Amino acid sequence: MRFAHLRVEGQTTPRLAVVVNDEALFLDEVMSTPPRDLQDLIERGQEGLAEVQEVVDTALAIDADLPLVADLRHSSAVLRPAQVIAIGANYAAHASELKLRSETAMTIFSLWPNSLSGHGATTSWPEDLTTQVDYEAELGVIMGRPARNVHVREALDYVWGYTVVNDITARDLQFSEAQWSRCKSFDGFTPTGPVVVTADEIADPQDLWLTTNVDGRILQDASTSEMVRSVADIIANLSRSATIPPGTLISTGSPGGAGYSRNPQVFLHDGATVTVSIGGIGSLTTHCRVV
């Protein structure tokens, strides 16, 4: 199944919906006790997901009249995540172009929840704080149950679903500060979506294709098979030191082709449009505004 947080034009509160083809089934319209958001659904476990599947099957069987997703507005595909963990330098090409090491221990940092935004949103930043704003296509992994001391062979069993992440980064801040959280956690710097796809729809997270399109130019074009550490490796590694709670979003790193490393450099500018796509999941578009 595919889930999204959607709202009708003019509404401010997103509602959890199942996306079926190009249409949206709002769960608060067909369930007596609907989950308030994706986090709530994840916390209900397999029974909660099975209940939603039954509701969806019933709606499809009666050919319910559903609104088109194109007529709705997206919020972040994940709301209220238990935490947002990001993995740096996880593709050799990206690590090399930024002159970072990827062969030693994982680079791990947190993204602040205020940075989450949705498909089709406008992300803005002050020109007097950063002039080197970059894009990063990443596979997002959403955990489904607590993971502690998980073996790599079992790690994917803990995954609830997958989404698309654009890990927008202020490079001038990244390389002038001792941590990477602030440079990647401006308001709206972590777009996710347009949907979360349940894990059963992704046969192999290491066999997905990522692209980044900035103003009509393909600037990143790579496979998740090129990760230095696989999704399973990341989960197993993280779970050795601390329990990963359900609903945690893990952003698994970006391939080569970052704007910072191009000659000439390519940074997001006022009026730019960037679309990150992952095969089997969807395309996530962000509009840019410099203020």
Q: Residue 105: its pLDDT value, please? A: 80
- Out of 7-11, 207-211, 277-281, pick the least confident: 7-11
pTM over 0.75: yes
pLDDT exceeds cutoff 90 at 185: yes
Q: In this structure, which topology does domain 84-290 adopt according to CATH?
A: Fumarylacetoacetate hydrolase; domain 2 (3.90.850)
CB atoms within 10 A of CB 109: 17
Q: Could you tell me if 288 and 272 are in contact, meaning their C-beta atoms sit under 8 angstroms apart?
A: yes
**For 190-210, how does the pLDDT look when each residue is reduced to its tens digit (9 = 90+)?**
999 999 999 999 999 999 999
| Domain residue limits, the chain | 2-74, 84-290
* Beta-carbon-side half-sphere exposure of residue 115 (alpha carbons within 13 Å): 22
What number of other Cβ atoms are within 10 A of residue 20's Cβ? 16
Chain segment 92-103, per-residue pLDDT in tens: 876 566 666 656
pLDDT at 9: 86
Is residue 209 within 8 Å of 220, Cβ to Cβ? Answer: no
3-state secondary structure the chain: CEEEEEEECCCCCCEEEEEECCEEEEHHHCCCCCCCCHHHHHHCHHHHHHHHHHHHHHHHHCCCCCCEHHHEEECCCCCCCCCEEEEECCEHHHHHHCCCCCCCCCEEEECCHHHEECCCCEEEECCCCCCCEECCEEEEEEECCCECCCCCCCHHHHEEEEEEEECCEEHHHHCCCCCCCHHHCCCCCEEEEEEEEEHHHCCCCCCCEEEEEECCEEEEEEEHHHECCCHHHHHHHHCCCCCECCCCEEECCCCCCCHHHCCCCCCCCCCCEEEEEECCCEEEEEEEEEC
Task: Identify the band that residue 10 occupies on the pLDDT scale cut at 50, 70 and 90.
Answer: confident
pLDDT in tens, 216-236: 999 999 999 999 999 999 999
Tokens of 90: 């996880």
